Structures are given as structure tokens and as C-alpha cells.
């Protein structure tokens, strides 16, 4: 069995936005052929790879040992585990994990992870993680990430996004609030307010809402010397 690799998301690296769209290919959403309980979600250990977001889908490619999606257990590396929701699976209920989680199937419930969260499928519920990546996905719920969020051009969010940094290229019906940087790439469609300390908008991006940049001190200070 090939070694499974995993790379944490890096929202502050501008190359990761392009890698998200080009390297991660997901062939649509599966029908709800199987319903599984949260307790049945398996955890696979991790190793650390280089700066290549395509390694996020490596666990999926390796999950072909049998027709029912069984997975061999690799030796413990001491790293955080990654929980995988397979493409043909639907989880009904909340998921709480101390590690990372990769959703290729569907989740009808909230997701709370101490590690990173990668969504390639559909989630109806709130998502809370250290870093969150959405790739060709649909989310109806709020996103809250401690470090950063990446959303590719085929993803849709119906809810609010709160984080430190975000690289956004999808569609959102809700507000985006970042403590530091918001980057809206050319396919972005934002139906809601955008708040950030620093904002970059590419040609083609659409914002239908209020844009506000966070300012330290008096916002009128630059005009005090006007005669």
C-alpha cells in the first residue's frame, strides 16, 4: 500500500489558491447510497508532505482496497489522524474530532475539528476547524477557522465565514470576516458584507454588500491636516 500523505493548508501562500483549483479534481457528488453512523468513520494516520495541496486527496485514492471502501491501517506516525467520509457515504449527526477530517461524501450535521477540514462533498451544518478548504463543494452553514480558509471556484457557501485569512474564489450568500487578509479572486461572488484588515479584489469579482477595512485608531486622522 502506498504511503498516505497530508499537507496542512496555507492560506497565506498565494500559490495555494491556484493549486486548489488545478490539483484537486472531484467528479461531482454521489447519490446517498449508504448511510453510516458517526462512530463508523475510520481514522487513518498521517505523514507530512511538501507544499502540495493535491496530497489532501491521497487518502481517497488509496481507499480502493475493496468494493465496500475498507481501508488498511498504516503504522502510527504520532501525527494527528485524518477522518475520511467516503464519496458514497452520508453521515447523519455531528462530528467532533481531535484530528483532521476530509469529507468527500455528505454530512448532515455540524463538524468540529481541532485540525484541518477539507470538504470535497456536501455539508449541511456549521464547520469549525484550524484551517478549512472547500473544493467543488456545497456548504449550508457557517464556517469558522482559527487560521485560514481556501475556497475554490466551484464551491458554494450559504452562511457566514469567520477566519484570520481567506483566499476566496467561489460563491457565498453571507458575510466574510477576516482578522487579517481577504483575497477575492476573479470568480468570487459575495452576496453579503466583507470585513478585513486588508482586502485584495481581482477583476471579475462581485461584491453585493458593504466592504469595511479594519483600522487602528481614528479613521479621520488622515484628514486632520486638510486646510
At residue 167, the 3 state secondary structure works out as strand
Q: Where exactly are the structural domains of the chain?
A: 15-223
> How wide is the angle at C-alpha 8 spanned by C-alphas 120 and 50, nearest 5°?
110
What pTM does this model have? 0.65
Distance CA 99, CA 85 (A): 14
pLDDT in tens, 50-84: 333 333 333 333 333 333 343 344 444 456 678 88
What's the confidence (pLDDT) of residue 81?
78
Amino acid at each position: 500500500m502506498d504511503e498516505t500523505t497530508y499537507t496542512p493548508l496555507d492560506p497565506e501562500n498565494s500559490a495555494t489558491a491556484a493549486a486548489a483549483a488545478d490539483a484537486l479534481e472531484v467528479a461531482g457528488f454521489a447519490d446517498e447510497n449508504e448511510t453510516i453512523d458517526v462512530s463508523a468513520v475510520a481514522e487513518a494516520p498521517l505523514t507530512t508532505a511538501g507544499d502540495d495541496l493535491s496530497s489532501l486527496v491521497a487518502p481517497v485514492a488509496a481507499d480502493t482496497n475493496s468494493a465496500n471502501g475498507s481501508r488498511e491501517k498504516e503504522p502510527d506516525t504520532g501525527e494527528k489522524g485524518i477522518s475520511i467520509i467516503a464519496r458514497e457515504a452520508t453521515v447523519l449527526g455531528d462530528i467532533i474530532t481531535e484530528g483532521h477530517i476530509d469529507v468527500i461524501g455528505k454530512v448532515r450535521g455540524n463538524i468540529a475539528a481541532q485540525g484541518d477540514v477539507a470538504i470535497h462533498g456536501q455539508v449541511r451544518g456549521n464547520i469549525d476547524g484550524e484551517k478549512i478548504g472547500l473544493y467543488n463543494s456545497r456548504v449550508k452553514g457557517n464556517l469558522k477557522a482559527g487560521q485560514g480558509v481556501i475556497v475554490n471556484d466551484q464551491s458554494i457557501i450559504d452562511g457566514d465565514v469567520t477566519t484570520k485569512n481567506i483566499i476566496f474564489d467561489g460563491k457565498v450568500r453571507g458575510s466574510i470576516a477576516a482578522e487579517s487578509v481577504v483575497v477575492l479572486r476573479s470568480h468570487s461572488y459575495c452576496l453579503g458584507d466583507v470585513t478585513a484588515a486588508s482586502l485584495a479584489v481581482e477583476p471579475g469579482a462581485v461584491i453585493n454588500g458593504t466592504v469595511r477595512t479594519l483600522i487602528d485608531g481614528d479613521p479621520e486622522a488622515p484628514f486632520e491636516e486638510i486646510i
